[in-house]
Amino acid sequence: MPEPPPRRTRATALSYEHGAFAPEVVATGSGVVAERIIAAAREAGVPVRSDPALTKALAALDLGDVIPEALWRAVAEALAWAYRLDAAAGRPGA
């Protein structure tokens, strides 16, 4: 039986400034680019969340796009998760 093709890594980085309308896409890509996004986030101490459904939805967005209203809830849950991790680790701004 042939092996399945390797899964291609996909990543999207979001930024949300207090008072902004919604988070925006600040980095996105697949393969090597995705691995670099993930590595940069980890090096900066930014929590990295694996969420295949959200990743698929965010993959339709382009760099600089504001998160559409249809994704607000899912993105809010991911941001709340990241803030909780920061708070538990005692990081500033949490």
Q: 67: alpha, beta or left, given left = phi > 0 and alpha = psi -120 to 50? A: beta
Residue extents of the structural domains in the chain: 10-88
Please give the structure tokens belonging to residue 74. 């899912």
CA distance 1 to 83: 44
CB 8 within 8 A of CB 30: yes
Place of tokens 């309308």: 21
Residue 67 backbone dihedrals phi, psi, to 5 degrees? -60, 125
CATH class of 10-88: alpha beta
Each residue of 70-92: pLDDT tens digit? 999 999 899 889 889 878 877 76
Each residue of 7-44: pLDDT tens digit? 678 999 999 888 888 999 999 999 999 999 999 999 99
Q: Provide the whole-model pTM.
A: 0.77
- Cβ density class 8-33: b for 16+ within 10 Å, e for less: eebbbbbeeeeeeeebbbebbbeeee
